[in-house]
């Protein structure tokens, strides 16, 4: 499978205190790739680098087969971009915004634009400056979808939208993806939202990509184990065949370990270290995400203190 987006050793310094470092992304074609990270992690900067809006200090970027930023003209013609903040001209009406945007894209689908405008209930004569946050979000999504892109780069597209609008926007997005097979690169800190639609995730923190894996693998690999260490088992976590991201000192019922790379057949190996595995619990994406960040931020070699 080829990648719609591929980066290696990406580096960019923004100001004195923030730096994107050694980001190597691989977004498979046709995937819905969730780009997760807390606020200030560098998601927006990375997305701007990917689209050639910023120029990297080092590293390579390939977007839909085009090297960036050199090939930005060809690449951007196939990308529907919804930026984090509304960027449309506020003095335009919705109709004018659509007409203006359409002029730049050879693949513009006028009928689809009309359909979406009707579906999103966007009147053509309303001024962009007078639109609510939800309407602005819908208009930006309309513009991105009606150009029939091969890649949708969505930077927090539903941030601040009410649940109804969010559902409308995501539905339109999924409809398009299912019919076109386009790749979606969507950044968000709303983890639950991504959990439903993404098949790949990448997690960014402090300017670095700390994880990139298929959603299934993420879900399956990150578990919470309730264990009871034996007399010789207090340091047993160190020799476990999986990564222990966090340990929660427990009560008499034992400890809780947050682990990554768990497989059921590993239980025997742990038991052999004198640790009894009492329960294996599934985690949702948000919990996994939070624990992942904690483990990334913990000092090297130590699992984070997971007391909550």
Partner 1 sequence: MFAAMLRAQWRWARLPIALLTVLAFAIPLLSVRLLEASDPRYVMATMQQWAVAYAALAGLVGLFLALAAWSSDHRGRHVYALALPLPRWRFVLNRYAAGAMMTVVPTLALLVSAFLATRNGVVPVGLHTYIGALALRFMLASLVGFSVFFLVASSSARMAAYVLSAMVAIVVADILLNSAGLDYSLTSHIMDVVFAKPGLLAAFTGRWMLLDV
- Residues in touch with partner 1 (CB under 8 A): 51-53, 72-77, 79, 81, 83, 85-92, 96, 99-100, 103-105
Q: Which is nearer to partner 1, 87 or 253 (CB)?
A: 87
303 near 247, Cβ under 8 Å? yes
Kindly state the smallest distance separating residue 94's Cβ from partner 1, in Å. Answer: 14
**Sheet with 255-260, side-by-side order of all strands:** 275-282, 223-229, 255-260, 243-248, 304-305
**CA distance from start to end of the chain:** 41
Kindly state the smallest distance separating residue 98's Cβ from partner 1, in Å. Answer: 11
Range 194-228 burial, b when 16+ CB lie within 10 A, else e? bbeebebbbbbbbbbbbbbebbeebbebbbbbbbe
Q: State whether the Cα torsion 198-132-96-49 is positive or negative.
A: negative
Q: Which is nearer to partner 1, 101 or 224 (CB)?
A: 101
Q: At what angle do helices 94-102 and 110-119 cross, to 10 degrees?
A: 150
Q: Which is nearer to partner 1, 104 or 217 (CB)?
A: 104
Distance CA 159, CA 97 (A): 22
Kindly state the smallest distance separating residue 102's Cβ from partner 1, in Å. Answer: 8
Question: How far apart, in Å, are the Cα atoms of 308 and each of 213, 248, 294, 304?
Answer: 26, 9, 12, 11
Kindly state the smallest distance separating residue 48's Cβ from partner 1, in Å. Answer: 8
Kindly state the smallest distance separating residue 72's Cβ from partner 1, in Å. Answer: 8
Helices (H) and strands (E) counted in the chain, each on its own, are: 10, 16
Phi and psi angles of residue 18, each rounded to the nearest 5 degrees, phi first: -130, 140
Q: Which is nearer to partner 1, 129 or 269 (CB)?
A: 129
Q: Which is nearer to partner 1, 9 or 160 (CB)?
A: 160
Q: Which is nearer to partner 1, 60 or 100 (CB)?
A: 100
Kindly state the smallest distance separating residue 297's Cβ from partner 1, in Å. Answer: 30
Q: Which is nearer to partner 1, 4 or 191 (CB)?
A: 4
Kindly state the smallest distance separating residue 149's Cβ from partner 1, in Å. Answer: 10
């Amino acid at each position: 499978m080829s990648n719609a987006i591929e980066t290696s050793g990406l580096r960019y310094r923004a100001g004195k205190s923030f730096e994107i470092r050694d980001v190597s992304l691989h977004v498979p074609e046709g995937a819905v790739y969730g780009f997760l990270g807390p606020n200030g992690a560098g998601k927006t900067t990375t997305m701007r680098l990917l689209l050639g809006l910023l120029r990297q200090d080092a590293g390579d970027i390939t977007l839909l087969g085009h090297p960036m930023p050199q090939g930005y003209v060809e690449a951007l013609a196939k990308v529907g971009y919804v930026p984090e903040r509304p960027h449309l001209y506020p003095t335009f009406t919705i109709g004018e915004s659509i007409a203006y945007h359409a002029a730049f894209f050879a693949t513009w689908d006028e009928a689809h634009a009309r359909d979406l405008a009707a579906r999103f209930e966007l009147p053509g004569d309303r001024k962009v400056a007078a639109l609510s946050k939800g309407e602005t979000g819908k208009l930006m999504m309309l513009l991105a979808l009606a150009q029939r892109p091969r890649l949708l780069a969505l930077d927090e597209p539903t941030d601040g939208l009410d649940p109804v609008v969010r559902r409308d926007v995501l539905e339109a997005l999924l409809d398009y993806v299912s019919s076109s097979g386009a790749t979606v690169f969507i950044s968000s800190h709303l983890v639950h939202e991504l959990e439903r639609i993404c098949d790949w995730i990448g997690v960014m923190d402090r300017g670095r990509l700390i994880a990139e894996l298929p959603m299934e693998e993420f879900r399956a690999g990150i578990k919470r184990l309730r264990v009871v260490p034996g007399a010789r088992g207090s340091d047993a976590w160190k020799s476990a065949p999986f990564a222990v991201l966090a340990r929660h000192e427990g009560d008499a019922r034992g400890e809780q370990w947050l682990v990554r790379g768990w497989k059921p057949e590993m239980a025997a190996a742990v038991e052999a270290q004198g640790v009894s595995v009492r329960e294996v619990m599934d985690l949702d994406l948000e919990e996994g995400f939070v624990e992942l960040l904690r483990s990334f931020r913990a000092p090297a070699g130590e699992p984070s203190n997971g007391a909550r």
